[in-house]
Structure 1
Amino acid sequence: MTTGDVGILKSTLLPSLGLYSSLSLATFVAAETTNRVELKDWLWPSGQVINAWWSAVGRPMTETGMSFSDAWTGLTWTEKLLLGGVSIWGARLFARIASRSLVRGKDDPRYDAVKKERGFWKSALFKVFLPEALFLSVISLPVTLPFRMGDTTLWMGMNSLTTVRALGAGLFSAGFALEVMADMQLELHRKERDDLCRHGVWSIVRHPNYLGDTLVHLSFAVLNLADSFNPIILLGPIANYCFLRFVGGDKQTEESQDVRYQVNDPRKYQQLRAWRQEKNSFWPSLHDLANPWALAVVGCGLMGVVVEEVLKTTFVMQ
């Protein structure tokens, strides 16, 4: 372990873990009181936004006494893109989770089975809530480390930096669009039909919303390449991917679907089994890349590149 590694642990990981642990503890108390595990999902996007803004603006204001305007002005264009990206992503996802929760009026069905386990609430803080705080600390590295340790280990020419920044903007726009379309299409489908949603972007993979989330978090790491890059930030999108694939996300969703559909909706269960033979849960096949909806997502990514260039020209080069 190098001196730089120790500095990152002290300046970024430990403060993030402290923040997320505190928020997770408060969320756990509220969740146990209301018997709704899903409250931890409210923290997932909001916690990342809070941490990013505190790292970029709140901490400098507190430590140096500078104004909000000065703290914001002191950020580079790429840092503003990072902060804006995580804010847009987090605000939309939080609104989606919260509104769906309020309309449903009860806990997410994914958590019904775990709550039936003996002594669930006695161990939930240490088995569910705090482990997610640890994951969040690592996942947030691309949107916290640049603001806390601005040194870089990578140097590129101006043209290369512009290309990398455009790639980051494109990945974010494509991932964000994929998440939005997946949620909207699923919501409309549920109002009209009672079978599995397998059209639109859901015809690309079984869980396009999680694929979109992965692209968004990957874009944050790519944007770091255009400014203050440290290889450790790559742990962020890797941790996010591992969580979505092997801890929560599609793994948890499909395990819950298996249990619920076998008992309550055999037709959906048969559709799910057939769908698994046709589509991957997370990554599209080469054939699926020609899907019109996949091309639409790529188009949204290209639009994002254009928008980023227009904004940079308007607000940076004026």
Structure 2
Amino acid sequence: MDTMPYGQGGVPLNRTTSPTSPTHHRPVTATLFDVGVFKDTIAPSLGLHSSFALVAYAAGRATDRAEAKDWLWPSGQVLNAWWSAVGRRMINHGVPLTTALQSLSRPERLILAGVTLWGARLFYRIASRSIRRGEDDARYSEEKKQSGFWNRALFSMFLPEAVVQTVIALPFTVPFRHQGAVLTGYHPWVQMAAVGVWGTGFAMEVLADYQLEQHKYGGRTDLLREGVWSISRHPNYLGDALIHASFPLMLYGSDMLAPIAVLGPIANYLFLRFFGGDAQTEQSQDERYSREAPEKKEQLDEWRAEKHSFWPAAKEVGNPWLWACVGAGAAAVVVEGFVDGWSWR
């Protein structure tokens, strides 16, 4: 339930909308697990993501396509961010959309915009690829051959990911919902760094997906190891991790970081590294390449010996593609500063 007090026009009374004041939460002693965050943020987020998971499961089972949960991954998090930031205030308090948006501080608008751009692009990527393919993702084909797959999938895949998404979403739900402990301090340079990290990650993710698309549909049958794919074996996942790391960084630079929010990028990283990201992708590649394309399996084994699955090695400091992504992050800082009138506040 939304317990935030509102004044005239639906502006929240306990936060300032002045563009010159960085403080948006009560500066009280910070604790990692403030009891209130479970009630005002985690519980409603878990309910929202669980409901989405049930809908995705029903759609996936009806179409026999487990990748329905992949469609939900970006869209569910974006919907949660918008519901937390403006939707619940519109529904519960009758606040007009324009008023709800105008009452957000600059850092809050940046976080909401960052989540939206990340999620919208990733959703388009997943949906368009799925539609073109016309069948389920190869990662799930082997699993579906097991007896009783769909009877287990709700509890082994869909609902567990709803829990993970709840944690990942903390950096872009806590600032809009939680009014408890925060780390105080205002650091404009940290805000700039957050924009730069987001821009670097976004550029890396976009370039990785674009180059992979061109490689696949250009008639080549070898593994892609050029472009940003020369940085690590999974630069798309690295870019995603950088994007999510930028959100608590922005909160810290804006006097808005509830310490529990740092669990978001940690959960995202662990999921990408050891569960649904490069680990799942390469396990599927091992099985398929060993059976269908031995030459690609050999290339994959060689690539593993040369590149880390996620992090760039020290020698990549001379990789021009790495610097191209960093340059894109620097450009994002310049563009955001120009749009904001170089106020940084």
Specify the code of the residue in structure 2 equivalent to 1:298. Answer: V
Deviation at 1:221, TM superposition (A): 1.2
Classify the secondary structure of the residue corresponding to 1:16: helix
The yes-or-no answer on 1:105 pairing with 2:131 is: no
The yes-or-no answer on 1:36 pairing with 2:65 is: yes
Specify the code of the residue in structure 2 equivalent to 1:197. Answer: L
Q: Percent identity?
A: 53
Deviation at 1:5, TM superposition (A): 2.1
Residue of 82, 87, 91 corresponding to 2:111: 82
Map 1:205-244 onto structure 2 (within 5 A). 205-227=232-254, 228-244=256-272
Paired position in structure 2 for 1:305: 333
Deviation at 1:59, TM superposition (A): 1.2
Paired position in structure 2 for 1:49: 78
Paired position in structure 1 for 2:312: 284
CA distance in 1, matches of 2:148, 2:304: 34
- Asked whether the equivalents of residues 169 and 264 of structure 2 are also in contact (C-alpha less than 8 Å), the reply is yes
CA distance in 1, matches of 2:134, 2:32: 50
The yes-or-no answer on 1:173 pairing with 2:199 is: yes
When residues 128 and 16 of structure 1 are mapped into structure 2, their CA distance, relative to the original with a 3 A threshold, is same
Greater shift, 101-110 or 56-65, is seen at 56-65
Give the count of matched residue pairs: 313
Paired position in structure 1 for 2:214: 188
- Asked whether the equivalents of residues 78 and 116 of structure 2 are also in contact (C-alpha less than 8 Å), the reply is yes
Classify the secondary structure of the residue corresponding to 1:72: helix
The yes-or-no answer on 1:63 pairing with 2:92 is: yes
CA distance in 2, matches of 1:307, 1:149: 30
When residues 165 and 131 of structure 1 are mapped into structure 2, their CA distance, relative to the original with a 3 A threshold, is same
Cα deviations by residue, 1:44-86 (Å, 9 ceiling, x for unpaired): 0000100000000011222222111111111000000000000
- TM-score scaled by length of structure 1: 0.95
Specify the code of the residue in structure 2 equivalent to 1:245. Answer: R
CA distance in 2, matches of 1:155, 1:220: 16
Specify the code of the residue in structure 2 equivalent to 1:199. Answer: E
Paired position in structure 1 for 2:164: 135
Specify the code of the residue in structure 1 equivalent to 2:201. Answer: G
Paired position in structure 1 for 2:182: 153
CA distance in 2, matches of 1:177, 1:242: 22
Deviation at 1:312, TM superposition (A): 1.3
Specify the code of the residue in structure 1 equivalent to 2:192. Answer: A
- Asked whether the equivalents of residues 151 and 229 of structure 1 are also in contact (C-alpha less than 8 Å), the reply is no
Specify the code of the residue in structure 1 equivalent to 2:340. Answer: K
- Asked whether the equivalents of residues 114 and 120 of structure 1 are also in contact (C-alpha less than 8 Å), the reply is yes
Moved over 6 A (4+): 314-317
Deviation at 1:315, TM superposition (A): 9.3
Paired position in structure 1 for 2:146: 117
CA distance in 2, matches of 1:225, 1:292: 31
Paired position in structure 2 for 1:262: 290
Paired position in structure 1 for 2:277: 249
Cα deviations by residue, 1:19-46 (Å, 9 ceiling, x for unpaired): 0100100100110111100110000000
Classify the secondary structure of the residue corresponding to 2:257: coil
Deviation at 1:307, TM superposition (A): 1.1
Gap regions ≥5 residues in structure 1: none
Greater shift, 112-121 or 40-49, is seen at 112-121
CA RMSD after TM alignment = 1.5
Greater shift, 225-234 or 136-145, is seen at 225-234
Gap regions ≥5 residues in structure 2: 1-30
Deviation at 1:289, TM superposition (A): 2.2
- Asked whether the equivalents of residues 172 and 215 of structure 1 are also in contact (C-alpha less than 8 Å), the reply is yes
Deviation at 1:250, TM superposition (A): 0.1
Deviation at 1:3, TM superposition (A): 11
CA distance in 2, matches of 1:36, 1:64: 39
Classify the secondary structure of the residue corresponding to 1:248: coil
CA distance in 1, matches of 2:180, 2:317: 38
Paired position in structure 1 for 2:12: none
Specify the code of the residue in structure 2 equivalent to 1:237. Answer: P
Deviation at 1:9, TM superposition (A): 0.4
Classify the secondary structure of the residue corresponding to 1:313: coil
